[in-house]
Amino acid sequence: MRDVTKREEAERALRESEQRYRAVVQHIDEIVYAVEITTDPSAARVLFVSDRVERVTGHTSQEFLENPQLWSSLIHPDDVSSVASLTDRLVKERVSLTRLYRLRDDRTGQYLWIEDRVAPYVARDGASVTLVGVARDITERQRAERVLAEQSKILESFFKHTQTCLVFLDKEFNFIRVNDAYARACGRDVSEFAGRNHFELYPSDAQAEFERVVRTKERFEASARPFTFQDHPEWGVTYWDWTLVPILDDRGEIAFLVFSLNDVTGRKRAEEALRETEQWLRTVVASAPITIFAIDRQAVFTLSEGRGLQRVGLKPGEHVGVSALDLYSSLSVVEEIGAVTTGAAVIRRVLAGETVTGTTELRGVYFENHFVPLRGTDGEVIGVVGVALDITDRKRAEIALRTGEERLRLITDNVLDLVSQVELDGTYVYVSPSHHKVMGYSPQSLLGAPVFELVHPEDLERVKAVFAEAFHRRVSGRSDFRCRHADGHYVWLEVVGTLLLDGTGTPNGAVLSAREITERRRASDALKNAHTRLQSLSRRLLNIQEAERRSLARELHDEIGQALTATKINLQAFERFPDPATFASRLRDASSIIERALEQVRSLSLELRPPLLDDLGLPAALRWLLDQHAGRSGLRVQFVSDRFEGRLAAEVETACFRVAQQALMNVAKHAAARTVTVELRRAADALHLHVRDDGAGFDVRGARARAMAGGSLGLLSMEERAALAGGGIEWTSAPGQGTSVHAWFALAPQVGP
């Protein structure tokens, strides 16, 4: 009788144990199955499959029990052979394996990625092998890995190809990493920086500001800061806009520093004369084992098994006999609804019949926990069954993704480069916030729009050709073109494009890094124009000098030389004519010749520099000049001048006189005018000269173009004289409408009369 009782007790204990494990398996968020395989593969038999299979495949567990071939029929055709090969190895070698393959969900027709951990168990007679497996849906993990890989590729491309100098430093200002732009700016190779101290390599007074950033954990910006490279003294003083940003870790401590710089030396010198990336995203996605535990109605652990325990430094069974209420009293559980409670409170609720799902963190490992009440045959709660799924990989992927987005946003928000990602047709799929600051467009307004819509019509075909060539040759491209600002005007951009390739090496888009260079282009064009004008002016000046020398030499030789020769002959004749009457006649003739020679010398002197300008000042000299032209050409002239107290600076008087002289000379040569008026007006800060005639007029734009090409010196010389005196000049004219010349000169302090 006792033997029967013991057997019944053993059977009851066995049924309870089976019931407990079945309850555990049914609440695991994975598919648990057992398949018996004999020597005849067609006789395979499904012994068990958990209800979770219906949520993954759309088929009930009963369908798999009735049709052993159903599972194989759902495997993706491309994965069938590899799964079959691994199954043969399981049966023959009797080893545990993990299989990765795609399984069809017949509700949607889509394939899901499955991670299948399988272990073989051999029957005692060796006639059959039972494969026990746990299969989990890892589709979302696969997608997260692809997203992280794509973001890492974008960030690395930006870091490598951006024109902004980017440096990562540790808290002691040692180089962690620099990009190519920074290395080029320093005249070094990228490999020369790692591990070296920034201020040992480039000492400067900015060290105090760096130390303050580390101390206060606040960013610092500097504008047009001068710096001299000691290893490149030939570069002279360079100027930099730079930003130092501390990147904090989860504890609020500085993890590293992002030092971004832009070389503004060109802009700074032009003003005086005329003026990434991101740390590697790491993905840690690994398989997460399961922890299974059971607690009796007294809240004492009766089971604690699973490889998940090893992740937190525990051994299987270590907690058996320990009170769950004591162990979980300080463990926080974040429920699906967002509420935070203690693990002990969760155990009490489950013992009261409630099912609870929540997330916990233990020793840096995250678990998704499913607490289910275990009921007896009478329906009463006799304990708790729990499954803890290690989701650390998923959590880390989420944290890494958020951190990557924050760091990418931090970098793109703190550089002036315009960073964007476009598809093959040029459509924006990502736009950095700096577009609003530089171009006036919000990132949201550009998403989905083609980049070509903003390109200047005159540059459009060239830009499209650059894009097409880059995609065809699979190389990065660089181009300068005009792009429309939100307010309608166009700005010049310098753009570098880097291709994005898919897994087969086929281009599927590009990352664009652009910089606004409008001022640089204007300064360059102005410099080219000034250089052209200077060359033309210098060339014409030499020609005029030679012409003046020839004219002066001719005057001296033909007029004064001949007069002096005639005088010499007359004086020599005195020796041959002792007769007083003849002597007197010769003397009068010589005196007349000398008088004409003196007049020629006086005329040449006045042409070179009228004494009136030095003796009586500008108004008197201009009046004399106007009278001279009236006498020679028969013009009707009028001169109007303000009353001047004291003299103007000599250089202002000279510049104004020469501009008037050239203007009157142009009237005499080209205007065929009858009347000319000269006005001299004095304002608070400038002297104004107006010369007006009623002559033939001319095309101002065409005349200036001919002057720039070297066809005439007159207009250029007037313009240069006014500019050198701190002023400028304007011509108003048209064919048949006369000409008005307005020149102004910056006034220097007055000198005495």
pLDDT digit string (tens) for 505-521? 778 788 787 877 777 77
Contact 426, 405 (CB under 8 A): no
Q: What is the DSSP string of 461-498?
A: HHHHHHHHHHHHHT--EEEEEEEE-TTS-EEEEEEEEE
Whether 587 and 647 share a structural domain:
no
Residue 678 has pLDDT above 90, yes or no: yes
Residue 440: pLDDT above 70?
yes
Q: How confident is the model at residue 548 (pLDDT cuts 50, 70, 90)?
A: low
Distance from C-alpha of 413 to C-alpha of 434, rounded to nearest angstrom: 6
For residue 594, being part of any structural domain is answered with yes
User: Which 3 state secondary structure label does DSSP give 457?
Assistant: helix
On whether residue 479 sits in a domain, the answer given is yes
Which of 516, 533, 549 terminates a domain? The answer is 516
Rg (C-alpha) for the chain, rounded Å, is 47
pLDDT digits (tens, 9 = 90+) for 687-741: 999 999 998 888 888 877 777 665 666 777 788 888 888 899 999 988 888 999 9
Residue 465 lies in a domain: yes
How many whole angstroms separate alpha carbon 710 and alpha carbon 707?
Answer: 5
Residue 314 — pLDDT band, cuts 50, 70, 90?
confident
Quick check: 281 pLDDT over 50?
no
Predicted structure pTM score: 0.31
Picking from 335, 364, 390, the residue at the C-terminal end of a domain is: 390
What domain range is 544 assigned to? 517-608
Give the pLDDT of residue 547. Answer: 55
Q: Is the pLDDT of residue 279 over 50?
A: no
Looking up residue 625, the CATH number of its domain turns out to be 3.30.565.10
- Report the range out of 16-20, 263-267, 424-428, 546-550 with the highest average pLDDT: 263-267
CATH number at residue 36: 3.30.450.20
Query: Is residue 160 situated within a structural domain?
Result: no
Do residue 522 and residue 641 come from a single domain?
no
- Say if 419 falls within a structural domain: no
Query: Which range (215-229, 273-287, 415-429) has the least confidence?
Result: 273-287
Q: Is the pLDDT of residue 78 over 90?
A: yes
Average pLDDT of every residue of the chain: 79
What does the pLDDT read at residue 579? 62
Please indicate, yes or no, if residue 639 is contained in any of the structural domains.
yes
pLDDT tens digits, 50-71: 888 888 899 998 998 889 889 8
Q: What is the pLDDT of residue 574?
A: 61
Q: Do residues 742 and 615 both lie within one domain?
A: yes
610 phi and psi angles, rounded to 5 deg? -65, 130
Residue 107 and residue 112: Cα distance in Å, rounded?
A: 12
| 533, 639: one domain | no
pLDDT over 70 at 556, yes or no:
no
The pLDDT confidence band at residue 600, using thresholds 50, 70 and 90, is low
Is 441 part of a structural domain of the chain?
Answer: yes
- Is the pLDDT at 550 greater than 70? The verdict is no
DSSP 3-state assignment of 729? strand
What is the number of other CB atoms lying within 10 angstroms of the CB of residue 439?
21
> Same structural domain for residues 589 and 499?
no
CA distance 62 to 48: 9
Of 338-347, 456-465, 553-562, where does mean pLDDT reach its minimum?
A: 553-562
Specify the pLDDT at position 404.
66
pLDDT above 60 (res 278): no
Higher pLDDT, 560 or 259: 259
Kindly state whether residues 591 and 718 are assigned to the same domain.
no
pLDDT tens digits for range 22-55: 655 666 778 888 888 876 656 788 888 988 888 8
576: Cβ contacts below 8 Å, ≥ 6 apart: none
Quick one: 368 and 448 in the same domain? Answer: no
Share of the chain above pLDDT 90, in %: 12
Count of structural domains within the chain = 6
Residue that terminates a domain, selected from 472, 490, 516: 516
Q: Whole-angstrom Cα distance, residue 169 to residue 300?
A: 52
Triad 14, 20, 24: Cα angle to 5°: 145
Same domain (yes/no): 442, 561: no
Residues 659 and 712 in one domain: yes
Per-residue confidence band for 284, with pLDDT thresholds at 50, 70 and 90? very low
Q: Are residues 215 and 238 in the same domain?
A: yes
296-316 mean pLDDT:
79
Structure confidence at residue 285 as a pLDDT band (50, 70, 90): very low
| Residue 392 host element (H or E) | helix 392-413
Of the listed ranges 149-158, 295-304, 372-381, the one predicted with least confidence: 149-158
Quick one: 346 and 374 in the same domain? yes
Alpha-carbon span 741 to 677, nearest angstrom: 11
Summarize the confidence of residues 393-407 as an average pLDDT: 73
Q: What is the mean pLDDT of residues 455-474?
A: 81
Q: What is the pLDDT of residues 165-217, one digit of tens each?
A: 889 999 899 998 998 889 888 888 988 888 899 888 888 888 889 999 999 99
Query: Which region holds residue 94: left if phi is over 0, alpha if psi is between -120 and 50, else beta?
Result: left
What mean pLDDT is predicted for residues 330-348? 78
Task: Enter the tokens of residue 261.
Answer: 């710089």
Per the CB < 8 A criterion, the answer to whether 483 and 494 are in contact is no
Cβ density class 211-227: b for 16+ within 10 Å, e for less: eebbeeeeeeeeeebeb
Token representation of residue 143: 């997608």
pLDDT tens digits, 213-225: 999 999 999 988 8
The answer to whether residues 224 and 243 touch, using CB atoms and an 8 Å cutoff, is: no
pLDDT digits (tens, 9 = 90+) for 89-137: 888 888 888 889 999 999 999 999 999 899 888 877 766 788 888 898 8
Instruction: State the pLDDT confidence band at 74, using cuts at 50, 70 and 90.
Output: very high
Q: Are residue 344 and residue 461 in the same domain, yes or no?
A: no
Express each pLDDT in 513-542 by its tens digit. 787 777 777 777 777 776 666 656 555 554
Residue 473 is assigned to a structural domain of this protein: yes
pLDDT at 111: 92
Identify any residues that bridge with 100 across adjacent strands, giving them in sequence order: 115
